[in-house]
Amino acid sequence: MLIKRPEDVRPSEITEPRVYAERRDFLRNSAGTAFALAAGAAFPALLASRSAQAAAGKLSFAGGSALSTDETPNSLKDITRYNNFYEFGTDKEDPARRAHTLKTDPWTVRVDGEVEKPADYHLEDLIKTSQLEERIYRLRCVEAWSMVIPWVGIPLAGLIKRFKPTSRARFVEFTTLYDPEQMPGQRSQVLDWPYVEGLRMDEAMHPLTLLAVGLYGKVLPNQNGAPIRLVVPWKYGFKNVKSIVRIRFSNTIPRTTWALSGPGEYGFYANVNPTVDHPRWSQSRERRIGEFFKRKTLMFNGYEEQVAGLYRGMDLRRSF
């Protein structure tokens, strides 16, 4: 990636240790109550309109997923001010400063390709409040840093079933909005726009795979990929495509942005793998944002037990 090498991270980018447990307990408790009240409501009902949401921004969701890590989440500050979102610039601070130009309401997602129910869906029709849940996941960036993020979203599998993929659907491709007016970074040639990522169908259907619409109990901030982004916790962060406007089902492997930009450096699978180094740096260790000492990177980012079966029989050095 053109993105910074791990050593380039400045000390000023490392933030204080955070107020973890307290905040999480608070969120869990309030989440439970709100969820009970709002269960069954549709996305717009819960927020009346997403502009009103911007003021309050709170989401209702079920907490306490067995799939959540019990590690302490990074602070909201870390999560919202240290971002990769090249549509708004290549520095970590750029998205927080510049992503206010993105208009997320109304938002439509085109679903097409190998599905029985292709359509343009309003976000409100795609995501029902009653299905929202909190999942606290590790995110391991290919640049050898990591965070723990309390996402709010829905499992992608449920949504895919609604679209009724045909028997020819073997891959799913996700595309970010292309609009250089709203996304000034797209005026530069740093990547081949729009940003595209993809998954194999069984990866997309895996229970860990999430479409996130919020974090820390609130609607996603623009810099984190509002209003809807992918979260696949056992893969390098670049698979987690932001601000999705299209979900396409295909029979052939999608051409993905980073694999196109550096085929020797970024593969389609992008599974976190400490035994396969990036050509320009080691992937064996990582720095958790907010911590000083590096920690070991875990196979599949610590989700080995859940996902290793997806890759049985594959050579993960070749299919990186």
Q: Which residue do the tokens 């970010």 mark?
A: 176
- Residue 250 or 256 with smaller CB distance to ligand MTE: 256
Q: How far is the CB of 224 from ligand MTE (least distance, A)?
A: 4
Q: How far is the CB of 186 from ligand MTE (least distance, A)?
A: 10
**DSSP character at residue 68:** S
- Residue 20 or 32 with smaller CB distance to ligand MTE: 20
- Residue 85 or 163 with smaller CB distance to ligand MTE: 85
Q: How far is the CB of 249 from ligand MTE (least distance, A)?
A: 20
Q: How far is the CB of 181 from ligand MTE (least distance, A)?
A: 16
Q: How far is the CB of 24 from ligand MTE (least distance, A)?
A: 18
Supply angle C-alpha 207, 163, 182, rounded to 5: 85
Cα separation, 163 vs 33, whole angstroms: 31
Can you give the C-alpha Rg of the chain in angstroms? 18
Q: Which residues here bind ligand MTE, judged by CB under 6 A?
A: 83-87, 139, 141, 176, 195, 224-225, 237-238, 240-243
Return the SS3 of 64: coil
Q: How far is the CB of 79 from ligand MTE (least distance, A)?
A: 6
Q: Which residue's CB comes closest to ligand MTE?
A: 237
- Residue 171 or 174 with smaller CB distance to ligand MTE: 174
Pairing type for strands 295-296 and 285-288 reads antiparallel
CB burial string 206-235: b at 16+ within 10 A, e below: bebbbbbbbbbbbbbbbbbbbbbbbbbbbb
- Residue 94 or 114 with smaller CB distance to ligand MTE: 94
- Residue 82 or 171 with smaller CB distance to ligand MTE: 82
The CA–CA distances, whole Å, from 152 to 60, 78, 210, 231, 295 equal: 9, 17, 9, 10, 26
